[in-house]
Amino acid sequence: MTKYHIQGGKPLHGSITISGAKNAAVAIIPAALLVDGVCRIENIPQISDVTLILQILQELGADIRTVNRTTVDIDCSHIRNRQVPYELARKIRASYYLVGALLGRFGWAEVPLPGGCDLGGRPIDQHVKGFVSMGADVDVRSGLICAKVPGGRLAGGQVYLDMVSVGATMNIMLAAVLADGMTIIENAAKEPHIVDLANFLNSMGANIMGAGTDVIKIRGVKQLRGGTYSIIPDQIEAGTYMAAVAAAGGDVLIQNVIPKHLDCITAKLVEMGVEVEELDDAVRVRRSGPISRTNVKTMPYPGFPTDMQPQIAAVLCLANGTSVLTEGVWDSRYRYVDEFRRMGAHIQVDGKVAVIEGVPALTGAPVHACDLRAGAAMVIAGLAAQGVTEVDGIYHIERGYENLVGKLAGVGADIRTITVPDEDAKSQAG
């Protein structure tokens, strides 16, 4: 069993370079299924979710060639197998994008229900509604999403999403690019990765208008051709390191970011007394004084991202005064709170609201990463805490953060990965 061992209390100094965006990569890679020819995709993050989605494409018969550490060539011209392997699909949320991509390309898809972080109910009814509006028959049974178009090719449809859904917006976009006629998605999500997927598809010959607004129009085209595309930097990875500097203190230049995508995070950190300087493709984050309390509510973009909620909670645990955190996207995203309490945090949760009473210091403790962003938040708390924190369940963190230990150690954090014998792990778990 591997864990992160963190000796807290060291301010962070230096620079960190941000990798490509996980939630863009896991949609853009399946989108290559729609393309006739070679897609060269650059700025791919080295994280386990990306490895998994590439593996799934390979199982389907895609020809995948690694060009360098962050670039792959994907050729899906000769896909021979359309059965998505259960063992791989169930491990990753983004496997649902295979439904839109396979349905758009072949008029038929059978994909195991996806996995991913446990954040309460994660229904896919809006994805299904979109596919049905384009003429597909969709059946969710025996753990499979089975979708089929009677005529073999989807027809443009119109769908109004009942709630703003990132996954449904992207999946419907994937299905629609090769459909006959125009598809309109209303109440669409506007996250940077929605725009990135649209830019990728357009650069391969698709005709998508309005991505980044709440109405997206997709005029179907006959074929997509190969090309080269570079994935945007990861907004949430950058935000996580911004929160780490806010909690631990210090002065760090966070490079290879799009500062505009960080505005929603920057605004809250500034309210909390953190200095954030925006440069062309970097932000400099400094904190030496006290952390001020504030209230945060998570919302779809351009609101404060739910995927930053646990990390900002780690900072608020150390603020002067009481803060109110409201989760506006997921039903259950406070499973990490008990772990924070083990470190001395004062947090009360009632439904979607957490009341955090700041304490002067957290103390190191053994804690468990119960999901990806909660795990990142445990690391942030550990960096700021007095004493040693050991975080287990780190496979969750490695799903979405490239070289987290190396990047933090590079700015002076005392963090390393340790391996403990399984017997020790069992007796601790007991």
Q: How far is the CB of 287 from ligand EPZ (least distance, A)?
A: 24
Number of residues in contact with ligand EPZ under rule CB under 6 A = 25
* 125 is a site residue for ligand EPZ (CB under 6 A): yes
- Burial label for 15, CB within 10 Å (0-12, 13-18, 19+), is middle
> Of 200 and 358, which CB lies nearer to ligand EPZ in the complex structure?
200
* 124 is a site residue for ligand EPZ (CB under 6 A): yes
Q: How far is the CB of 28 from ligand EPZ (least distance, A)?
A: 11
Contacts 24+ apart (CB under 8 A), 65-72: 67/40, 70/19, 70/20, 70/42, 70/43, 70/44, 70/45, 70/46, 71/40, 71/41, 71/42, 71/43, 71/44, 72/40, 72/41, 72/44
> Of 127 and 293, which CB lies nearer to ligand EPZ in the complex structure?
127
- Site track 7-46 with ligand EPZ (rule: CB under 6 A), x = hit: ----------------x--x--------------------
Q: How far is the CB of 212 from ligand EPZ (least distance, A)?
A: 15
**Of residues 76, 117, 264, 317, which has the active-site annotation?**
117
Q: How far is CA 347 from CA 10, 322, 375, 377, in A?
A: 24, 10, 17, 14
Alpha helices in 134-191 (DSSP H): 166-176
Q: What is the footprint of ligand EPZ within residues 280-339 (CB under 6 A)? A: 306-307, 329-330
Alpha helices in 213-356 (DSSP H): 235-248, 263-271, 309-316, 337-342
Q: How far apart are CA 169 and CA 183, in angstroms?
A: 11
Q: How far is CA 259 from CA 225, 234, 377, 410, in A?
A: 31, 11, 22, 22
* 47 is a site residue for ligand EPZ (CB under 6 A): no
Contacts 24+ apart (CB under 8 A), 352-355: 352/326, 352/327, 352/328, 353/324, 353/325, 353/326, 353/327, 354/313, 354/324, 354/325, 354/326, 354/327, 355/322, 355/323, 355/324, 355/325
From 133-141, 158-166, 200-208, 314-322, span contacting ligand EPZ (CB under 6 A): 158-166
> Of 305 and 364, which CB lies nearer to ligand EPZ in the complex structure?
305
> Of 165 and 323, which CB lies nearer to ligand EPZ in the complex structure?
165
Q: How far is the CB of 290 from ligand EPZ (least distance, A)?
A: 29
370 is catalytic: no
> Of 3 and 127, which CB lies nearer to ligand EPZ in the complex structure?
127
* 375 is a site residue for ligand EPZ (CB under 6 A): no
- Is the CB of residue 310 less than 8 Å from the CB of residue 333? yes
From 12-20, 54-62, 160-168, 254-262, span contacting ligand EPZ (CB under 6 A): 160-168
From 115-123, 246-254, 278-286, 314-322, span contacting ligand EPZ (CB under 6 A): 115-123
The residue among 370, 380, 390 whose CA lies nearest residue 10 is 380
* 95 is a site residue for ligand EPZ (CB under 6 A): no
Q: How far apart are CA 301 and CA 264, in angstroms?
A: 8
From 13-21, 118-126, 312-320, 387-395, span contacting ligand EPZ (CB under 6 A): 118-126
Q: How far apart are CA 124 and CA 127, in angstroms?
A: 5
Determine the residue with CB nearest ligand EPZ. Answer: 167
Q: How far is the CB of 182 from ligand EPZ (least distance, A)?
A: 22
Binding site for ligand EPZ (CB under 6 A): 23, 26, 93-94, 117, 121-127, 163, 165-168, 189, 306-307, 329-330, 372-373, 400
Active-site residue numbers? 117
